[in-house]
Amino acid sequence: MENAMKVTGLRKVFNQHTAIEDVSFNVKRGEIFGLLGPSGSGKTTTIKILTGELLQTSGDVKVLDFDIAFFKTPDFKSRIGILSDNSSLYDRLTVYDNLKLFCKLYDAPLEQIDVMLEEVNLKDARNKAVSKLSKGMKQRVLLAKALIHKPDLVFLDEPTSALDPGNIAHIHRGLQKLNEAGTTIFITTHDMEEATKLCDRVAFLDKGRIQELGNPNALRYKYSTHAFHVETFDDKRLVIENERENADEIKELIATGKVKSIQSDNPTLGQIFLKITGKELV
């Protein structure tokens, strides 16, 4: 099985409002796949369909070789992990008791609790009531909960939205490690840096359709003008096309010691998104 997911012509209409029009993509086994799109573009809706929480209006979905008819079975549910956009925990119970519940529901060994707490950097909060945690700490407990049964495929709906940079970096390392161990990761995010750094491939979702799909660096190359941006010591900014006949001009600039900096044009994913859809990705 090469594909972890196969989505064809997915469409979802909520009483007359079309949330997604026609979405198709495959996610390969073992990859980190990012679904990017502005607020309201249908990212959460797509995840809900892929995890069996919502029924699509039309289109075909296959996840881990399971047909949508089997999405409600314990067999399927125990092979996927979900961090949804507004999941929550039992406030009065401790972090440990919350994770213990899910360990038992997913039939995972209880030793996993401490392993996961270490993983999300929360060992010290083990016996604290969830109501006493900060938003970022809760988010990390939710992440531990999503991963506690070692799923083959995880869905992460904006997993780092409430976290500070230190914890984001920590979580990113954890996700990369998880991925190296073979877990397929499907992630939605607004954070372009996160997508560029983590994802093997990203899909841009807008107007209910996938507008572009590819490896982040390949996309940056594809949408690059390939020009050089040169800044000189007398504060001039030059844009020089990457053409043979411009070689002498660049050589001259360097030879005369005028170059302060020189960069090739490489748009960020956010700039590419803006270029394709005319929308900011925030």
Partner 1 sequence: MHTQRIGAIFEKDLKDFMKNMMLLMMPIAPILLSIMYSRLGDGEEIPISMLYIIVGVTFSAVTSSSMMTMMAEENEKKTLRGLMLSPASFMDIIIGKSLVVALITAVSLAISLFLMGIEPFLSAQAIIGLVLLFLFFLFLGIGIGLFAKSIASTSAYIMPVMFLFGFTPMIEFLALGEDSIAIKVADAFPIMQLINMHDTNSWVPIGVVALWTIGAALFTYICFKKERTDD
Cα 84 to Cα 69, 81, 103, 147, 211: the distances in Å are: 21, 10, 18, 12, 24
Using the 8-state DSSP alphabet, how is residue 128 labeled?
S
**Residue 85 C-beta: closest distance to Mg ion, Å:** 4
- Asked whether 130 and 141 are in contact (CB, 8 A), the reply is yes
* Residue 183 binds Mg ion, judged by CB under 5 A: no
Inter-residue contact 113 to 106 (CB < 8 Å): no
Helix (H) or strand (E) holding 182: none
- C-beta closer to Mg ion: residue 57 or 84: 84
CB of 42 to partner 1, least distance (A): 16
Site string for partner 1, 139-168 (x = CB under 8 A): ------x-----------------------
The correct pick among 18, 26, 57, 78 for binding partner 1 (CB under 8 A) is: 78
- Nearest approach in angstroms of CB 57 to partner 1 is 12
85 makes contact with Mg ion (CB under 5 A): yes
Site string for ligand ATP, 80-119 (x = CB under 6 A): -----x----------------------------------
Give yes or no for residue 17 binding ligand ATP (CB under 6 A): yes
* E strand or H helix that includes residue 102: helix 95-105
